[in-house]
Amino acid sequence: MGYYCTMCWKCGAAITADNPIGRTLTCDTCGADVRSCRNCRFYSPGSYHDCAERVDAEVSDKERANFCEMFRLNPAYRKNHQGVAGTGSDSNSSASDDASARSAFDRLFDA
């Protein structure tokens, strides 16, 4: 169990780190850079520079490591408060989550 625990934006594998997320940290499973826009809580496609924060310079490759000072791990990729991240391979949980969301959506239009 590491100090940071999140999931890879690309493959969904658990990523743990005992030190702050450095520019060279990569996913052990797929090799994707962890400190990239795609793994940042401020990544917002369609926003100015695809970032929810005010950044001066655009990062051209959102999937590669960069030096952005605004970088924060995306909490949406975290699974629970105990620091245990799933791999995204639990299809039963995903299917029930989808059905629950669909049911809630359908109830919006019941009248």
pLDDT per residue as tens digits for the range 41-100? 999 999 999 999 988 889 999 999 999 989 988 876 554 434 443 334 444 445 666 777
Would you state the pLDDT for residue 77?
Answer: 56
Banded model confidence at residue 31, pLDDT cuts 50, 70, 90: very high
Domain ranges (residues) in the chain: 1-111
**66 and 72 in contact (C-beta within 8 Å)?**
no
Would you state the pLDDT for residue 83?
Answer: 41
Cβ neighbors of 75 (< 8 A, separation 6 or more) are 41
Would you state the pLDDT for residue 103?
Answer: 78
Would you state the pLDDT for residue 96?
Answer: 64
Would you state the pLDDT for residue 53?
Answer: 93
What is the distance between the alpha carbons of residues 94 and 80, in angstroms, rounded to a whole number?
A: 15
pTM listed for this prediction: 0.62
Beta-bridge mates of residue 15: 6
CA 45 to chain centre: 13
**22 and 15 in contact (C-beta within 8 Å)?**
no
Alpha helices in the chain (DSSP H): 91-108
Would you state the pLDDT for residue 3?
Answer: 58
